[in-house]
Amino acid sequence: MSRLYLRVWLAVALAGTLGALGGLAMAIIIYDPPGTVAARMTGATLALLEREHVSQDRAQRLADEWNTFVRITDQQGRILVFAKAAGRTAGLNDEARHRIELAGGQRLETGEFGVGRPPWSAFALPLIGIALAVGLATFPLVRRITRRLEAFRQSVTELGQGQLSTRLAVDGNDEVADLARSFNRSAERIEELVRANRNLLANASHELRSPLTRIRMAGELLTDLHGVPEQLGPMREMRSSIGELDELIDEILTASRLEAGGQPDSPQLVDLGQICTEEAHRAGLPFPLAPVRMMGTPQLLRRMVRNLLENALKYGQERAVNLTLDQDAQETRLIVSDLGEGVPEAERERIFEAFYRRRGSSEAQGGVGLGLSLVREIARQHGGTVHCEANTPQGARFVCRFPCSNPSSS
């Protein structure tokens, strides 16, 4: 049973039922079987008769004390003494009568007024009634509490999925309401911190663009005005470093937008084959691909393909980089492979972490940066997945899969 309210309600109802069963057990223990009181009354009367004559007053006191009746008759059946408990006019229990013959032909008879152990049927209906009453009375209360807990669980799930604006409705002044207030304060604080971090990241990235532009312009001026050859080692290194920084800033801005839960444009029908062909040509890889259409954001898909190709060229050492794209009724598959050193199995998930540095990588190679992290996030934004596996005969193979749930055609 997975529903909390059912478990709580059943626990309360079971507690009430067990209480009723406990009462039944106590009643069975306390109440005497039919005839027990009458037998005791007979014994007391016999003991009294051995000492003295039982008068009407004495018999009345015995009847009142034992809540019974007592009758002594002679041999002809005439009543000599008769007494019954005060106020009792009915309810004689025929099963609880006790008779005994006395000396001289007299007879002693005692009986109970409906006392003794009651039958099971006397407790069955009250027990059922108690269980129903407890269940009906507690279910609305339990359901109200657990419904609020279910709303809290849903809000925590939404917050964990990145919906930082999620808030809980505060209802009442009990512990659950206090929990909702604490959750709202925490969610608000988290949203503020994340927003400040994103703003700082975006502003810093934009601010870095200005000095990079000035450095690039200074390099061009050195080339144009002072005749510094572009092929000179330091100049070539400077241009390469500026390009890497510019690329990193662009990736940081893209990551910031994706973490904010938004996309640059609304999804549309995209020719992924054309995007792959253009990015392969840009990387110097002649891979003309057939049209493969899917719903997505062109800018993000282009960034994903570019990052995969650049990663393959960087770590595959530009050896046998291959790009394939196919589609069937269930999914669209994009595969980028190389014949480089490959990725150890223990690191095939970690390389999708931002700025993860592979073991044994040199300072010149650096870490993986944001490239593969963006690839996975873009795939997730499109409802897809990406993973790394070993290539045959060597190297790494990155496989992206996108479901064909949206309208598409190949």
| Cα(338)–Cα(324) distance, integer angstroms | 12
The answer to whether the bond into 393 is cis (omega within 30° of 0) is: yes
Dihedral pair phi/psi, residue 46, rounded to 5° = -60, -40
Contact (Cβ atoms closer than 8 angstroms) between residue 276 and residue 303: no
Name the CA radius of gyration of the chain, rounded. 46
**Residue ranges of domains in the chain:** 4-30+120-153, 36-112, 162-262, 265-403
For 317, the 3-state DSSP assignment is: coil
Spans of the chain below 70 pLDDT: 1-11, 19-54, 87-98, 112-127, 222-235, 256-265, 317-319, 359-368, 405-410
Dihedral pair phi/psi, residue 321, rounded to 5° = -75, 130
The CATH T-level fold of domain 265-403 is Heat Shock Protein 90 (3.30.565)
The CATH T-level fold of domain 36-112 is Beta-Lactamase (3.30.450)
H-run or E-run covering 213: helix 175-225
Cα dist from 91 to 11, 36, 84, whole Å: 40, 16, 12
The string of DSSP codes covering 191-205 is: HHHHHHHHHHHHHHH
pLDDT at 284: 85
Nearest to 269 by CA among 296, 290, 289, 291: 296
**Chain segment 233-261, per-residue pLDDT in tens:** 666 777 777 777 777 777 777 776 666 55
pLDDT at 340: 86
pLDDT at 1: 40
Which residues, in sequence order, are CB contacts of 45 under 8 Å at separation 6+? Answer: 54, 59, 62, 70, 108, 110
pLDDT at 108: 78
Cα dist from 207 to 214, 238, 245, 249, 335, whole Å: 12, 19, 12, 10, 36
Tokens linked to 306: 């570019």
For 178, the 3-state DSSP assignment is: helix
pLDDT at 79: 85
Q: What angle do CA 31, 37, 43 make, to 5 degrees?
A: 150
Contact (Cβ atoms closer than 8 angstroms) between residue 355 and residue 361: no
For 353, the 3-state DSSP assignment is: coil
| Cα(147)–Cα(134) distance, integer angstroms | 20
Question: For tokens 């007979």, what's the residue?
Answer: 42
pLDDT at 104: 73
The CATH code that applies to domain 162-262 is 1.10.287.130
pLDDT at 30: 54
Burial tier of 327 (Cβ tally within 10 Å: 0-12, 13-18, 19+): buried
Strands 79-84 and 107-112, how do they pair? unpaired
| Cα(305)–Cα(299) distance, integer angstroms | 10
Torsion of CA 364, 370, 371, 374, to 10 degrees: 170
| Cα(347)–Cα(61) distance, integer angstroms | 97
